Chains A and B, each alone.
Chain A
């Protein structure tokens, strides 16, 4: 069964600090991995999309990495801001004919001043 596990479940950091969120998956065959940011009560917003051949992708202060061999991804946030407080969701899609993505449960990040 395809699964996406995210860690930690929640994280509290001080403004200006860096942090790294983890995503492990068992989806096969692999097509792409996405990271989304979801503010409370709002729809997810795409941060990065990576395919098999990409191992790093950046979007401003957000940098995602992908290790397709170990089936792990991370999202690094640099110089955190209060507005980074949100849930971060890892989503993995398969290339095996089904277009149903597998979502992680998300990491809840709180940035304190």
Chain B
């Protein structure tokens, strides 16, 4: 089954404790991206990747890092999480950034206390 998976689905952590949210897709997509969704603000792009070893900042990259060492994986790293990073995070993938259909993962709900 074609899908985008994220782990963990739920995470509660404390300020400053490094964490990684994994994202994996099995559709051989070149384009992957991370979004955060906050009430009243809609989805905002954090980082995107056009292909392996090619990443770029989205609208709200501060406080986040990403890497793309393999085509199927695109982890999101929070080196020192803060309470304002409490949010619902989605990973997505597609064949490309333009007119191609984008497939979203199930989401990771992160709470930073």
By a beta-carbon cutoff of 8 Å, the part of chain A in contact with chain B is: 31-32, 34, 41-46, 49, 51, 89, 91, 93, 95, 99-101, 103-106
Among A32, A43, A93, contact of B105 (Cβ-Cβ < 8 Å) = A43
By a beta-carbon cutoff of 8 Å, the part of chain B in contact with chain A is: 4, 31, 40-45, 48, 50, 56, 58-59, 90, 92, 97-99, 101-107
**In the docked arrangement, what's the CA distance between A91 and B106, Å?**
19
Among A34, A43, A105, contact of B107 (Cβ-Cβ < 8 Å) = A43
Question: Hey, which chain B residues are within 8 Å of A105, CB to CB?
Answer: 40-42
- Contact flag A103-B42 (CB < 8 Å), given A41-B107, A42-B107, A43-B90: yes
- Contact flag A100-B58 (CB < 8 Å), given A44-B104, A89-B42, A89-B43: yes
Question: Hey, which chain A residues are within 8 Å of B105, CB to CB?
Answer: 43
Question: Closest CB-CB distance, B106 to chain A, in whole Å?
Answer: 6
Question: Other than the known A41-B107, A43-B4, A105-B41, what 8 A-B pairs have Cβ atoms closer than 8 Å?
Answer: A31-B98, A31-B99, A32-B99, A43-B90, A44-B43, A44-B90, A100-B58, A105-B40
